[in-house]
Structure 1
Amino acid sequence: MNVAAGSSLPQHIFNVTPNDFVARALQAYEHQLQHNEVYRLYVQAVHKLGNMPADLLSIPFLPISFFKTHAVQSFDGVAEMIFTSSGTTGMQQSRHLIKALSMYEQSFVQGFTRAYADPSQFAWLCLLPSYLERSGSSLIYMAEHFVRHSHHKESGFFLQANEVLIERLECCRQQQIPTVLLGVSFALLDFAERQQHIDLSHCIIMDTGGMKGRRKELTRAELHDYLQEAFNVPAIHSEYGMTELLSQAYSKGHGRYYPPAWMKVLVRSEEDPFDLHDTGAGLLLVIDLANIHSCCFIETQDVGRVYEDGSFEVLGRMDNSDIRGCSLLLL
């Protein structure tokens, strides 16, 4: 894989197949070992610097906390964009240095298209007050792209579920426009409580997570059951994404996420950091080939389960880990 420093954008990352994923991941590892000083020093510190890994389970995964304390990059020069995590007041933010925004755009457009359809065919109604109130959000960047490129004038952003949002939802229903209502958890809950069984059966309700301490904590299942009944939809969808990744996995209901072809999730034992597995329960490890210019191998702070078909669910958070602003919903 020709991803040397200064090379052209590695578009072929998004054409990876299950048969060549391992080879592409090992090439990405070799590239980042050479060009990412933070990752190289970490690999050396865990005594893994030596022979090339034989498989994915032999690759060291960088703890996600390094994005809070170091510049994690595999390129020279100035970043085109820096995405930052939300967090809470006084909490140190993660910083993801982006060499090329076109890489992120290709990842989220192709990722959504594979999971659903061309995003430009949808009306995007984005109820994201907590994210609109700050800068540097990768979620807002993605949502703005979807709104801007939508074929439907009804698309837009909303700080609250006001009359304008309701009118646009009704307009989309009457015109039979495919619609995504993308919302932070507490805002969707406020909307559901105020409107009392509004019919949004024509919509994909996409929960981004995030109660941010504003409401009584609910489990994700409790929240989705309530929203499902309130909005008259068969399921509540959600996306698994974070500042430190350039790809998203989508769930079409019941918390089971499916990653795109260039993203794979593994697990490791919560007790032994070198005990990695393809399936089972444990700490989630993410390989995101779209992160070729930062780090493709991320040890998250999420505990979950990975299934034989590559899908996964999130069960909670590691003890004593910081809570990311986009994932403050109690799981």
Structure 2
Amino acid sequence: MVKISADRIFGISSDEQFRELALEVFQFQAAGNPVYKAYLNHLGILPESITSLDEIPFLPLEFFKWHRVVTGDLDHEVIFESSGTTSENTSKHYVCDLDLYQRSFTSAFRLFYGDPSKFCILALLPAYLEKQHSSLIYMANELIGLSGHPGSGFYLDGFKGLIHQLETLENEQQPTLLLGVSFALLDLADHFPLNLNNTIVMETGGMKGRREELTRKELHERLCLGLKMGTIHSEYGMTELLSQAYAKKDGIFHSPPWMSVLI
């Protein structure tokens, strides 16, 4: 079982390259991942019979709650854990190569938004910041570091400091990225209306039981109204994946070349 080079993954530049490598990755996982191998056996699927992308069986997300899903005999560097209440069994992603995750999210960010150093990056992620082992917090923290701006950092849901920072950055006409969980951004927009001309507001989803559930369209309309913006950006990621998709307008997501969505 030969390890697949990260350079090949992040060097994908065509649909055909993606198809070929995805099938190769499938064979690699089918041979070396005991959980996935057992799942294929249960389905009665022979790996050598898979010849197209739409034939590849997806491992159910529930398996990440009950099994250690790891390929090969590598030790993990970190465990990312999904959000949830203390009574819930959460998904756990055992990551054996943290550099792979870092390369994935930094490359995707640069692809869609350019160099992080262009921005002051503010992260309003209270529900995640209060928990350990969040892949979103890890990503935000690394992007904040790459930003290099002295005003970049994390904020909880006490908005005084965040509002002061946003107003200062607006006065300086500093390009800013405000990355936030949906319920916290709604609280900000509803109670502390702002006029943001130099700021990208990017929601990561998640009401976490704090607010009423809204469609993405409803959420964006309320955020645009409260923050006096024409559009809201979205980030999509999950604990069980190491890649993100981004939507700059109308909730239409685009993924990097090494990520594809199949239904």
Shared fold by TM > 0.5?
A: yes
Q: Distance in 1 between matches of 2:47 and 2:176?
A: 51
Query: How high is the sequence identity, in percent, across the aligned residues?
Result: 47
Letter in 2 for 1:16: I
Question: Would you say the 8 A contact 2:82–2:92 is kept in 1?
Answer: yes
> Mean alpha-carbon deviation: is it higher for 137-146 or for 16-25?
16-25
Residue 37 of structure 2 corresponds to 40
Write the distance in 2 (CA, Å) between the matches of 1:2 and 1:237: 39
Report the alpha carbon displacement of residue 161 of structure 1 after superposing the two structures with TM: 4.8
**Which of 203, 211, 223 is the equivalent residue of 1:227?**
223
Q: Residue 62 of structure 1: CA displacement?
A: 0.7
Structure 2 residue aligned with 1:307: none
Query: Is the Cα contact below 8 Å between 2:62 and 2:91 reproduced in 1?
Result: yes
Q: Find runs of 4+ consecutive structure 1 residues off by over 6 angstroms.
A: none
The correspondence of residues 1-331 of structure 1 with structure 2, limited to 5 A, is: 2-3=2-3, 10-17=6-13, 18-196=15-193, 198-267=194-263
Q: Distance in 1 between matches of 2:47 and 2:115?
A: 44
SS, match of residue 151 in structure 2:
coil
Inter-partner Cα distance in structure 2 for 1:147 and 1:116: 14
Q: TM-score, normalised by structure 1?
A: 0.76
Tell me the amino acid that sits aligned with residue 251 of structure 2: G
Rounded to whole Å, the distance in 2 between the matches of 1:250 and 1:118 is 15
- Rounded Cα–Cα distance in structure 1 between residues aligned with 2:244 and 2:120: 20
The answer (yes or no) to whether the contact 2:30–2:47 under 8 Å persists in 1 is no
Per-residue CA deviation, residues 109-146 of structure 1 (Å, 9 max, x unaligned), is 00111111112321111111111111000000000001
Distance 1:124 1:262 in 2: 25
Q: Contact (CA 8 Å) 1:127, 1:157: kept in 2 or not?
A: yes
CA distance in 2, matches of 1:253, 1:213: 26
Unaligned runs of 5+ in 1: 268-331
CA contact (8 A) 1:161 1:191 kept: no
Q: How many residues align?
A: 262
Is residue 123–residue 178 contact of structure 2 (8 Å, CA) maintained in 1? yes
CA distance in 1 between counterparts of 2:127 and 2:152 reads 19
- C-alpha distance in 1, partners of 2:25/2:49? 12
Amino acid at match of 1:224: H
Instruction: Provide the C-alpha distance between the structure 2 equivalents of 1:162 and 1:63, rounded to a whole number of angstroms.
Output: 38
TM-score, scaled relative to structure 2: 0.95
C-alpha deviations, 1:275-295, integer Å up to 9, x for none? xxxxxxxxxxxxxxxxxxxxx
Q: Distance in 2 between matches of 1:188 and 1:134?
A: 19
- Measure the CA separation in 1 of the matches of 2:27 and 2:189: 49
For structure 2, the residue ranges without an aligned partner over 5 or more in a row are none
Question: In the aligned structure 1, how far is the partner of 2:161 from the partner of 2:207?
Answer: 23
Deviation (angstroms), 1:218 = 2.2
Measured after TM superposition, the shift of residue 11 of structure 1 is 2.6
Contact 2:181 2:204 in 1 (8 A): yes
The code of the aligned residue for 1:133 comes to E
Deviations along 1:240-279, whole A, 9 cap, x unmatched? 1000000000011221111110001111xxxxxxxxxxxx
Deviation at 1:216, TM superposition (A): 2.5
Structure 1 residue 159 displacement after superposition: 0.6
Matched residue type, 2:37 = R
Q: Which amino acid aligns with 1:45?
A: H
Q: Which structure has more helix as a fraction of its residues?
A: 2
